[in-house]
């Protein structure tokens, strides 16, 4: 297999952490807090995968592909079958499955553009690029059946499209593995549930039949990369795509129960958080009052009070409550080092104490992390390395020692990334910043221990809203 083909089979999903690591995460905290967030949500949601329509669209596309793969009467044209990218595996090859995913994503987005008066296009991945193509072709773009970039509407569509963004959740739920193999252990019940979902949603079942019929003809043609101009695709198929995926709210109505079972997000720590947020979204919080909205720390506190929660799941919630106040204070101290182009340690100390902090603030919050049961044991690899480094920054000492440790830790991270540090400490102790000056927050806006990371709660709230048929 050519190296480019090998890489295309591996690099098929988006990794938003990479961008954040390089540009927005000067203390390397993302890998720490996301580890604890994903322990709760089991990689079912992320910063880019939290929309019920896109979840369902991706699953539907794979349902179609699974049908094509398992139907022996559907055969590939000779030129496609002999394509080196298919490596003799035909419909089982990654290249074939990627071509299906790209074609179906493009057909969906163009159908939504054509019928947008009947549908909600907000949240449709790739629609801006698709609109440009639609305009350039006067409403008749060409859809190419291929895994190669020339078939893409989005740049790097394998990773930035629906399939890439929503791949990990479906892998974690057990619908297929990372190479899109549907015949994996314990997947049978999942796909039986999908079949049942299709039976309950007539629009989804009708669409699947139309799509399979369309693709069966397309892939049998004697072309390495068969295509269809949009206006030559059956109108009934395009209308059916929009009917089935008209809006996240419509999709949520017919798929809510399915996704809760498939994801297990209604159980354990995630389920407890969901109960609290569902009640607040309906206008009454878990304590029966109307003091909305709740802060994230309040959501976690109330979720931990949920009856019947086992100790392991309760600890996941406790870990976040013990960790986040510490992370927030380290971040604040680093922010103060960026609050002037040049300043002394005395300047930073005045700002720190002016915000109600002292030399004991960080060591005290550090101790809460150290004493939290099994918290440090819950991390491994890079997350553990980063957490231990942050804890060392906050060992007891005066403000000068704390600042020096935080700057050194930041410098080590940036050097590892091959980038220049944002801030430097001169030999005379002066702190020099090389980036945009950061504002010092007001004391009332930044109480000690204020949370700055969200642990995927906004994404989970968005998913729950979709489940409930809400905006």
Nearest CA to 233 out of 339, 304, 143 is that of 143
Rounded to whole angstroms, how far apart are CA atoms 332 and 450? 10
User: Average pLDDT, stretch 416-426?
Assistant: 95
User: Average pLDDT, stretch 325-346?
Assistant: 97
Backbone angles phi, psi at 424, to 5 degrees: -135, 150
CA max distance for the chain: 78
Rounded to whole angstroms, how far apart are CA atoms 175 and 190? 6
Rounded to whole angstroms, how far apart are CA atoms 234 and 143? 13
Note the Cα 112 to chain centre separation in Å. 23
Q: Categorize the per-residue pLDDT at 16 as very low, low, confident or very high, splitting at 50, 70 and 90.
A: very low
Query: According to the model, what pLDDT value does residue 371 have?
Result: 97
- The 10s digit of each residue's pLDDT in 375-410 is 999 999 999 999 999 999 999 999 999 999 999 999
Yes or no: say if 319 and 375 are a contact pair by the CB < 8 Å rule. yes
- The 10s digit of each residue's pLDDT in 64-109 is 999 999 999 999 999 998 999 998 899 999 999 999 999 999 999 9
Backbone angles phi, psi at 278, to 5 degrees: -65, -40
3-state secondary structure of 392: helix
């Amino acid at each position: 297999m050519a190296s480019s083909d090998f890489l295309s089979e591996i690099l098929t999903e988006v990794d938003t952490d990479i961008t954040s690591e390089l540009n927005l995460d000067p203390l390397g905290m993302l890998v720490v807090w996301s580890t604890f967030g994903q322990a709760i949500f089991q990689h079912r949601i992320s910063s880019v995968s939290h929309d019920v329509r896109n979840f369902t669209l991706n699953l539907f596309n794979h349902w179609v592909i699974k049908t094509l793969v398992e139907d022996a009467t559907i055969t590939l044209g000779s030129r496609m079958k002999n394509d080196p990218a298919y490596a003799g595996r035909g419909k089982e090859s990654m290249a074939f499955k990627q071509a299906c995913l790209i074609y179906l994503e493009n057909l969906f987005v163009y159908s939504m553009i054509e019928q947008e008066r009947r549908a909600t296009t907000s949240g449709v991945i790739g629609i801006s690029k698709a609109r440009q193509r639609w305009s350039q072709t006067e409403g008749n773009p060409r859809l190419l059946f291929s895994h190669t970039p020339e078939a893409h509407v989005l740049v790097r569509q394998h990773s930035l499209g629906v399939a890439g963004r929503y791949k990990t959740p479906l892998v974690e739920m057990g619908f297929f593995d990372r190479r899109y193999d549907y015949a994996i252990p314990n997947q049978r019940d999942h796909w039986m549930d999908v079949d049942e979902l299709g039976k309950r949603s007539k629009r989804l079942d009708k669409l699947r039949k139309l799509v399979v019929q369309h693709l069966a003809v397309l892939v049998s043609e004697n072309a390495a990369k068969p295509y269809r101009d949009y206006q030559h695709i059956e109108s009934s198929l395009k209308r059916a795509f929009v009917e089935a995926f008209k809006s996240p709210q419509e999709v949520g109505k017919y798929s809510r129960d399915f996704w809760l079972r498939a994801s297990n997000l209604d159980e354990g720590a995630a389920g407890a958080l969901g109960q609290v947020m569902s009640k607040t979204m309906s206008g009454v919080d878990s304590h029966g009052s109307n003091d909305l909205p709740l802060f994230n720390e309040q959501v976690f506190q109330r979720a931990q009070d949920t009856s019947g929660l086992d100790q392991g799941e309760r600890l996941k919630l406790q870990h976040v409550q013990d960790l986040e106040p510490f992370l927030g204070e380290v971040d604040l101290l680093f922010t103060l080092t960026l609050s002037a182009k040049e300043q002394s340690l005395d300047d930073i100390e005045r700002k720190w104490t002016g915000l109600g902090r002292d030399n004991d603030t960080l060591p005290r919050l550090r101790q809460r992390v150290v004493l939290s049961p099994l918290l440090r044991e819950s991390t491994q690899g890079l997350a553990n390395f980063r957490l231990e480094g942050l804890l060392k920054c906050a060992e007891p000492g005066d403000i000068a020692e704390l600042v020096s440790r935080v700057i050194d830790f930041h410098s080590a991270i940036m050097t590892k990334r091959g980038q220049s540090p944002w801030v430097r400490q001169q030999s005379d102790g002066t702190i020099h910043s090389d980036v945009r000056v950061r504002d010092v927050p007001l004391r009332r806006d930044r109480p000690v221990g204020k949370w700055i990371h969200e642990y995927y709660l906004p994404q989970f709230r968005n998913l729950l809203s979709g489940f409930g048929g809400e905006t």
